[in-house]
Amino acid sequence: MIYHLASWTFGDQPADTFLGRLGTYGVSMFYVLSGLTLQHVYSHHLQSWADTGRFFIRRIFRIFPLLWLATTMAIVVSRLEPDAFKVLLNFTGLFGFVAWDQYIATGAWSIGNELVFYALFPIIVWSARSKLGTALTGLVLGGIYVYFAFFALDPTAELSDEWGTYVHPLNQAFLFYCGFLIGHLLRAIQARRLLVHFVLWGGIVAFILWPTSIERIDIVTGWNRLAFTLICVAICAAIYKTQPRLPKPIHAPLLMLGHASYSVYLLHPIVYNSFRRLDRFSDVQNAALTVILTLLIAYATYRWIEMPINRFGRRVSNKL
């Protein structure tokens, strides 16, 4: 949200700045954390077709209601009449599989990617039952990742021109698999605290100081793509093994923000565009009001929409 608001208020954030990099690789870290979370919660519970069915049902109830809400609101706020087939693709989630750049709500491309990862997850879990399967899956997804970094994306073009290629789910799937591997390989390992902190803070410093140009395409192609991927995976792994304990006044709001992050991610562009439609405030005021109202709406959405629907989804899946 902060990256988007800064870009919309002050212009594009260069790729050699912390915020410019976070705007790109924040989503990458989300994919890593998504793979790690699903491995931690579900990998030992997918033992049959019924278990797999329950997994998909819970994911549907988790993802689709808010995606439908955000898509509908984006259509209303934009005052445009989208193509009916495009709307169908967005409401069914099929855009993630067949038209990954045809999303309606800002940022929903990553949700389409996630739906593809969910479809792959049972296969990943099955392959991880042997060392050979784990290695082969990593080689396939890693090879595809390298192909996009060095061949599919044009490093001389603007990222906006290459966006349809960049948001391809196969260009992101290796990040999800890296998160899965963190949980799969490190879950039972007791890492030394000094080593973990060295990796964590070393990764943060490298993320900030790694030399690149100001162009965003430069940090998602070639060796820079591999370097930033390694840095992001290392940071996520270190945080996973650090398991910091924060004071309750800090822990409680961060926990709630984490719960409401899905709503924050999808709804802040709609809130911002709504304020712009009013044409009563400056760009800075629009951004400030967007932060405040988005957090309030996200909390309400999580509390009174997401939580009840998720509970209902669990009840439905448990009855099968």
The DSSP result for 205-221, as a single string, is HHHHH----S-GGGGSS
The per-residue pLDDT for 286 is 95
The per-residue pLDDT for 82 is 85
For the residues of 9-46, what is the DSSP string, one character each?
A: HH-PPPTTSHHHHHHHHHHHHHHHHHHHHHHHHHTTT-
The per-residue pLDDT for 53 is 93
Name which of 217, 236, 284 is nearest 21 in CA terms. 217
**Domain range for residue 239?**
18-246
Distances (CA, A) of 205 to 112, 193, 239: 31, 18, 15
CA–CA dist 110, 101 (Å, integer): 10
Is residue 266 a part of any domain in this protein?
no
The per-residue pLDDT for 31 is 98
Is residue 83 a part of any domain in this protein?
yes
Is residue 300 a part of any domain in this protein?
no
The per-residue pLDDT for 236 is 96
Is residue 191 a part of any domain in this protein?
yes
The per-residue pLDDT for 193 is 86
Are the CB atoms for 271 and 294 separated by under 8 Å?
yes
Count of structural domains, the chain: 1
Ranges of residues in the chain with a pLDDT under 50 are: none
Is residue 237 a part of any domain in this protein?
yes
- Dihedrals phi, psi of 154, to nearest 5 degrees: -85, 110
Is residue 25 a part of any domain in this protein?
yes
